[in-house]
Amino acid sequence: MPYVDTRTEIVVSPGEGPKRLDHFLANRDPDFSRTILQRLILDGHVTVDGQPTKPSHKIKPGDVIVLRVPRAEPLDIQPEPIPLEILFEDDALLVLNKQAGLVVHPAPGNWSGTLVNALLHHFKTGAGSFSTIGGKERPGMVHRLDKNTTGIMVVAKQDRAHAGLVNQFKRHTIDRVYEALIWGVPKKGQGMIDVAIGRDTKDRKKFSARTTRPKASATQYRVTERFDKLAAHVELFPQTGRTHQLRVHLSAIGCPILGDPTYGGKKVGAIRDVVIPRVMLHAKVLGFIHPISQEAMHFVAPLPADMAGVVHQLRGQRARDTMDVEKEQEP
């Protein structure tokens, strides 16, 4: 199905049981994610028997559903010459290693200086463009990383590639590995954090298990290095992709990510004399099937300099503590 200027009419067949409109459309055409369909429904581009409705509307046999996908509006976001570390690019997609401090897409308070602004400049000086599915503010954005999270991201340049990548994320077939430096050390060297989370009932800017709409979420972790009992270096393997999932899950086991005051409070801003410059979270590995060529793609980004610097300082602090203990034990 094309993604611009299309009109599709569907008559719900006899025997089709009551089902949410967004679920029905997503099952009918997996090229559209449910998020995209919900946006189209809420924007009035989907009607049932000639009337606009809600994503939760229950369809029934005989209903006439009309789905319109409008041509994307021109972007009014300005290109900006922000340096990018591009790992791979072809006509369908682009893979990059995002730096700390870079917001992914424009939003209130961040209408400039974002990854989208940087990519607009990159495409202006070279070949290519965004896919149109993400809309004006999030063109080509298949997934996102928080402002102070570094690491690998994939951006879609074609609608077909965008839909194919979204489908892989939806089916959890994307290979993702993160690295984090955390406060304290988990009781077990490895394990699974299985905690349903959603928007926090008391603070709408946060996510937690204290929610009225919990969504299943799971994160596998493995401790790779301990810095006495003060901190640890861990690898994280998200099994789901909820907002702030890794940050919430590590906080839930009493080991929030260093530099993350939202979920760890003031204590995670420093480990003794080691000052933590930002949230110590890095998207190390991203693997997926190229949605056009069907080739297996695998990318690895090394630990960024600021995180490597904190690791070096924590190791030095551990060595000094060991020496102090040995001196105390001398006769």
Per-residue pLDDT of the chain (331 residues; tens, 9 = 90+): 344 467 888 999 887 878 899 888 887 765 677 778 888 899 888 999 999 999 999 999 999 999 987 765 555 788 899 999 999 999 999 999 999 999 998 776 777 899 999 998 998 876 567 776 666 656 788 999 999 999 999 999 988 999 999 999 989 999 999 999 999 999 999 999 999 999 898 887 899 999 988 999 999 999 999 999 999 999 999 999 999 999 999 999 999 999 999 999 999 999 999 999 999 999 999 999 999 999 999 999 999 999 999 999 999 988 888 776 656 666 6
User: CA angle, 268 as apex, 265 and 272 as ends, to 5°?
Assistant: 135
Structurally, at CATH architecture level, domain 72-171 sits in: 2-Layer Sandwich (3.30)
CA distance 56 to 34: 12
Tell me which amino acid residue 116 is.
V
- Tally Cβ neighbours within 10 Å of residue 323: 10
pTM of this structure: 0.76
Do 318 and 227 touch, CB atoms closer than 8 A?
Answer: yes
Q: Where are the domains of the chain?
A: 6-69, 72-171, 172-331
Q: Which two tokens stand for residue 156?
A: 């879609």
For residue 43, what pLDDT is reported? 86
- Whether the domain at 72-171 and the domain at 172-331 fall into the same CATH topology: yes
Q: Which residues contact 181 (CB under 8 A, 6 or more apart)?
A: 231, 232, 233, 234, 257, 258, 259, 276, 280, 307, 310, 311, 314
Catalytic residue flag (residue 146): yes
- CA 100, 282, 152, 33: dihedral to nearest 10 degrees? -100
User: CA angle, 26 as apex, 22 and 30 as ends, to 5°?
Assistant: 165
Summarised one tens digit per residue, pLDDT across range 226-261 is: 999 999 999 999 999 999 999 999 999 999 999 999
For residue 137, what pLDDT is reported? 56
* CATH numeric code, 6-69: 3.10.290.10
For residue 148, what pLDDT is reported? 95
For residue 106, what pLDDT is reported? 78
Do 156 and 93 touch, CB atoms closer than 8 A?
Answer: yes
User: Residue 9's beta-bridge partner residues?
Assistant: 66
For residue 3, what pLDDT is reported? 44
| Dihedral-angle region of residue 265 (phi above 0 means left; psi in -120 to 50 means alpha; beta otherwise) | left
Q: Which two tokens stand for residue 157?
A: 């340049």
- CA 266, 268, 270, 276: dihedral to nearest 10 degrees? -110
Q: The domain 172-331 belongs to what CATH superfamily?
A: Pseudouridine synthase (3.30.2350.10)
From 29, 63, 76, 146, active-site residue: 146
For residue 263, what pLDDT is reported? 97
User: CA angle, 180 as apex, 229 and 256 as ends, to 5°?
Assistant: 60
Q: Which two tokens stand for residue 207?
A: 């996510």
Q: How many residues does the chain have?
A: 331
Distance of CA 289 to the CA centre of its chain: 18
Q: Which residues contact 2 (CB under 8 A, 6 or more apart)?
A: 69, 159
Closest CA to 143 of 57, 54, 33, 281: 33
Tell me which amino acid residue 179 is.
E
